[in-house]
Amino acid sequence: MTAFAIDVFEFCRLGERREGEVSVADLPRLVAECIDANASLHWTLQGGTNSFGHPQLTMTVAGKVRLVCQRCMTALEHEIASEQVLVLARDEEQADEIEELLDDESIDVIVGAKSMNILDLVEDEALLSLPLSSRHEVCPDGAMQDAAGNVRKPSPFDVLKGLKQ
C-alpha cells in the first residue's frame, strides 16, 4: 500500500486524521482544467462516525488554481475552499439505503473500499468545487469588452420600421 491508500472503514473506526499538500501536477483530471500546474492544494481528512453509526469522512481542500476566463480568455485565479462530509457504504444497495435515511443533499454517500486513494478523493472534491463556467466578475481588459458591447446588432424589427415608412 502506498502512503496515500487507506482502508477507509478502519480509518473511520479509529477516528484517524491525515493532512498534506499535493501539487496540481499530480492530479491529472484537475491539471487538465487549469492553465498551469504550479499550484498546490492543502487537504485534511478526518475519520469518524455519524449519528446513525455509519462511517464518515470529513474532508477539506483548499488552495488556488488558475483557470481560463470564458469571457476574455485570460487567466483567472480561482480559490478552492471546500469542506465535504462523505458517509461510507459497503455497496451500492447500502449507499441507497443510507441516502434515504439521511435525506440530506449536503452529505454525499459513497461506496468505500479496503484500499482507497486519498488523492483521488481530494481531486474529486477540487473538481466539484470548480465553477461550470469560470469568469472574472469584471474582466481585466475592459476595453475589449466595451468595444464588443458598443457594436449594435441589427434588430429584425428595424426592417419592419423601414417597411412602415
User: Taking the domains of the chain in order of start, what are their residue ranges?
Assistant: 5-151
pTM over 0.85: no
* Structure confidence by residue, pLDDT tens digits, 126-141: 999 999 999 988 888 7
Q: How confident is the model at residue 143 (pLDDT cuts 50, 70, 90)?
A: very low
Q: How confident is the model at residue 142 (pLDDT cuts 50, 70, 90)?
A: low
If you average pLDDT over every residue of the chain, what do you get? 87
Going by C-alpha positions, the residue among 129, 120, 20, 125 that lies closest to residue 67 is 129
Whether residue 25 has pLDDT greater than 50? yes
DSSP state, residue 38: -
**Distance from chain centroid for Cα 110:** 16
